[in-house]
Structure formats: C-alpha cells, structure tokens
Structure 1
C-alpha cells in the first residue's frame, strides 16, 4: 500500500486531508505537515524526516507549490531516503488528493504520479457560456 504525505504552506495540508475525508471517508494512510510562518527550511525538513521515518517504504508526497520550501525540502529528503520508494509531486488540489486516495491501496507511487500527470489538465476547468447563433425566433 502506498502512503501519502501532504505538505503545504499554512494549514492547507491538514485542511486538504479534512476536506478529502468529507468526500472519501477516513484516510488513515494520509499524513500531513503544515509549514507555518515561524518555520524555516531546516525545521520543515526535520518535521518531514520524522514523519517519513514513521511511514512505509512506498510514499507519494503531494506539495502545494513547485519549488516552494515544502517542495524543496521533500525533494531533498527523497534523495536522502533512496531506500524508500518516494515520489514527489506539486500542485496540490482537492481533485488531485481524491484521485491519489482512490489509488493508494493498489498502485505504486510511480503509477499514481504517472496517472496524476496524465489527468492534471482535466482538473482545472472553466465554465463557458456559448451563444447559439442559429437560435430560431419563437
């Protein structure tokens, strides 16, 4: 089973898990780390390290911002923890977290990331009002 670590600025990680659990149900294989104003790179890296040591060897890390401090710390630790199968992805959103939750019971971190990358353009949508020029007068 793949375990999931959500890491984000502010309290987004914990609130993202809370929101996902409203829809998906309990997610005991999900862990969260918040990155607060008083935290720095070293402190978040230490917090992530503590949690990674509690997790299995099959982990997907979902961070909020590409190249942000949480993401950079996760990437650094993924390189240090090469004995674990860790994949790091950025762009945290509720659809992304729900898709991850639906697959972590039977997919590897790599399989999950590959799928998420294949559908990411489907998770951002816009509503367009189209006018029908062929509308007949009634």
Structure 2
C-alpha cells in the first residue's frame, strides 16, 4: 500500500488532512499526518512516528510531503523511514500546499516516479499566484469580480 505522509511543524499537516477529507474522504485512510509539536523534541517525534510505522504493513510505500525541505520534522521522519528500511522507496517533496496534497492523494496510485513528482510539483507551483479581485464596474475582464 502507498501512503501519503504529511509532515510539518506544528499542526499544519493535521489541518491539511482535515481539509483533504472534504475532497477525498474515500482516500483519507491512506493519509498519515505528523507534526513536530511545540515543545516536543525531535527524538519524541521520532518515537511517536516509529510507533505509527509499526502498525503499518512492512512493505508500505510512502509519498512524503513536507512543509520545509531540511526542516527538523522532515529530516527526523526521513531518518525513521531509513531505520525501517523504507526510505529508498519513498518519494519526498517539500513546500507542501493544499493543491499539492490534493493532487498527491488523487494520483499516488496511478502515477509513479518522475511522472508523479512532476505532476504534483507542477500543480503546487501553478497554484501560487496573486489574486486580484475586481470591484464591480472595473473595466479589466482578467480579474475576478467581487
């Protein structure tokens, strides 16, 4: 089974999982959200995540989305995956946002490797733009009217 593993500082990953359940409730059991709690050490996070891993299939695959590449939570989770022999088959992406998470859950079982990475990252990037609302009566048709 391939899991979508959301990793963050604080409760960000849990909030994303909660929002994701509104769009992909039928796939939410494939999502694991883990965050480094305020005041928690990385060792405590590692222990907590290792216990979660022990309850999963030993042949599980992971698509890991982290809030920050190089951050303590993602680094810690990667270390635990390595200790369990699961890092080599994991795909790890950083800079997580909601469009990225939504695409990841929808595509994780149908795309693999570079195709999955490219599609998920492109969606995350394309979602980043300025929103310029148009006040009713403005002339520019390229902006959303409010």
Find the aligned partners of 2:86 and 2:36 in 1 and give their Cα distance: 25
Partner in structure 2 of residue 37 of structure 1 = 38
Gaps of 5+ in 1: 133-138
TM-score (structure 1 length as normaliser): 0.78
Measured at CA, do residues 108 and 47 of structure 1 come closer, stay the same or move farther in structure 2, by a change above 3 Å?
A: farther
Q: What does residue 61 of structure 1 align with?
A: 64
What SS class does the counterpart of residue 22 from structure 1 fall into? coil
Contact kept, 8 Å, 2:42 with 2:72, in 1: the verdict is: yes
List structure 1 segments (4+ residues) > 6 angstroms apart after TM superposition: none
Partner of 1:100: 104
Whole-Å Cα distance in 1 between the matches of residues 40 and 116 of structure 2?
A: 30
Cα RMSD of the aligned pairs, angstroms, is 2.5
How far did 1:50 drift? Answer: 2.0
Distance apart, 1:113 and its partner CA: 2.5
Residue 28 in 1 paired to residue 32 in 2? no
State how many pairs are aligned: 132
Task: Structure 2: state its 5+ residue gaps.
Answer: 141-146
Task: Provide TM-score, normalisation by structure 2.
Answer: 0.75
Distance 1:74 1:110 in 2: 22
**2:92 pairs with 1:91:** no
Name which structure has the greater RCO, CA cutoff 8 Å, separation 6+.
1
- Stretch moving more, 9-18 or 79-88: 79-88
